[in-house]
Amino acid sequence: MLSVDVEQAAPVPLAARFDCAAGELVALVGPSGSGKSTLLRCIAGLTHPHRGTIVCRDRTWFDAAAGVRWSAQQRRVGLVFQHYALFPHLRALDNVALASGRPDPQAHARELLGRLGLDGLGARRPAELSGGQQQRVALARALAREPEVLLLDEPFSAVDQPARHDLYHELAALHRAVALPIVLVTHDLHEARRLADRMVILDRGRTLQQGTPAQVLSQPRNARVAELVGIRNHFEGRFHHTGEAGWARLAWGRDEVLALRVRDKGRIEDGVAVTWVVAAEHLGVHASPPSGPNVHRATLVEALPLGDIALCRFEVAGADAAVQLHQATSTLQRGELAVGREVFLQFDPNGVHIMPRRSAAA
């Protein structure tokens, strides 16, 4: 288990707390300047925060109050940098062997290169390898330290899309094979959702929310988290109790004339202004009115093809904002969905996530 609880005011503000269990992959997600890489450097021992603790496997690597500051050399950390940081004058085999602490480092390096699909490439220097191959060498070098924690700093950003997908599969296989805490820094939400067991959302060095990708993306803690994770369907409304146990009414749209049946979890007072989100998997698009609650008439006003999917924008009758959804491009090509066509949107009551609206001062 890796446990991180660190704070500092400068040079990069931090107020971050999270855990990563053995065999778990945690993704640190946030905009540029949110402190993701700084946090990784703190874990690796390359920089020391002003306050807090870092504990790995019940050993305290850092405790500001107690004066404990293990160096990077004392910590068994495997770190993969964004731009690999391989020694250009050394062969791939030697780059990996240099990090090994075993009696026969060359044999250990050869084994790791083979595990990562680099058999026969050990004699090549970094310049003679593709970006994806260099990334595998960097990963093999990180594993050569036989680390207690594996840290990945945007490891796929410098490779092309086909190589990136191959590396995703290799990281997923590695994740299943090794019982290490793995911390991945990424700004790519699709990457985090695909690879991570849990996501930690950072903003200005502060932990805003953590949870499984499904939890964070469908139930953001507040409007800022919703913005950071790119939730498009984010609206305003007013929450009303109905007197029916477990259920409430959400008034929304122009002059709050539209209504949704939603879950009442007992946390929001009657008549309070709220913001709300709904994830795409909780929205249905129908040619004719379906049975069930929360059906609203809408018109497809824009469809932007993006390969096999299209980003579609639906204007809901009586609403001030549009609903955005991805739809299969094939449905447009077959004429089942067309710009200007009327459809019916159905909002799953269990998928509507409601948050109190914060004042500007708050």
Q: Is residue 310 part of a domain?
A: yes
Write the pLDDT tens digit of every residue in 16-32: 999 999 999 999 999 88
Taking the alpha carbons of 164, 169, 170, 176 in that order, is the dihedral positive or negative?
positive
- Final residue of a domain: which of 206, 228, 250? 228
**225: which residues sit within 8 A by CB, 6+ positions away?**
201, 208, 209, 216
Let me know whether 69 and 183 are in one domain: yes
Among 326, 152, 95, 124, which Cα is nearest to 230's? 326
Nearest Cα to 19, choosing from 30, 6, 7, 4? Answer: 4
**180 & 301 share domain:** no
Torsion over CA: 29, 115, 150, 35 (sign): negative
> How much is the pLDDT for 162?
74
Q: Domain containing 240 — which CATH number?
A: 2.40.50.100
| In a domain? residue 164 | yes
Tell me, yes or no, whether 362 lies in a domain.
Answer: no
Q: What is the DSSP letter of 261?
A: E
Same domain? For 151 and 68 the reply is yes
Q: What percent of the chain has pLDDT over 70?
A: 98
302 and 155 fall within a common domain: no
19/80 same-domain check: yes
Final residue before a domain boundary, out of 210, 228, 246: 228
Convert the pLDDT of each residue in 133-174 to its tens digit: 898 899 999 999 999 999 999 888 767 777 777 788 888 888
The verdict on 43 and 87 lying in the same domain is yes
Q: In what order do the strands lie in the sheet with 14-20?
A: 68-69, 59-63, 51-56, 2-8, 14-20, 206-211, 198-203, 25-29, 182-186, 149-153, 77-80
pLDDT for res 97: 95
In-domain check, residue 122:
yes
Residue matched to tokens 């040079």: 11
Query: Does some domain include residue 188?
Result: yes
Range of the domain at 305: 234-356
Same domain, 197 and 272: no
Look at residue 361 in the predicted model and tell me its pLDDT: 39
- Each residue's pLDDT, cut to its tens digit, for the chain (362 residues) gives 999 999 999 899 999 999 999 999 999 999 888 999 999 999 999 999 999 999 999 999 999 999 999 999 999 999 988 788 899 999 999 999 999 989 999 999 999 999 888 989 999 999 999 888 898 899 999 999 999 999 999 888 767 777 777 788 888 888 888 889 999 999 888 889 889 999 999 999 999 999 999 899 888 988 889 889 888 899 999 999 998 999 999 999 888 999 999 999 888 999 999 999 998 889 999 999 999 999 999 999 999 988 889 999 999 998 878 999 999 999 888 888 999 999 999 999 999 999 988 654 34
- The amino acid sitting at 283 is L
| Cα–Cα distance measured from residue 313 to residue 324, given in angstroms and rounded to the nearest whole number | 5
270 and 150: one domain? Answer: no
* CA 19, chain centre distance (Å): 15
Token output for 239? 């929450």
| Residue 167 counted as domain residue | yes
Looking at 212, 228, 244, the residue that finishes a domain is 228
Hey, CA dihedral for 102, 107, 110, 114, is it positive or negative? negative
One domain, residues 46 and 188: yes
In a domain, 361, yes or no: no
The total number of structural domains in the chain stands at 2
In a shared domain, residues 39 and 63? yes
Q: Are residues 115 and 178 in the same domain?
A: yes
The model's pTM: 0.85
CATH number of the domain to which 21 belongs: 3.40.50.300
Let me know whether 305 and 282 are in one domain: yes
A 10 A CB-CB count for 270 gives 11
- Sheet bearing 283-286, strands edge to edge: 283-286, 342-347, 295-306, 309-316, 322-328
Residue bearing tokens 């200007």: 340
312 inside domain: yes
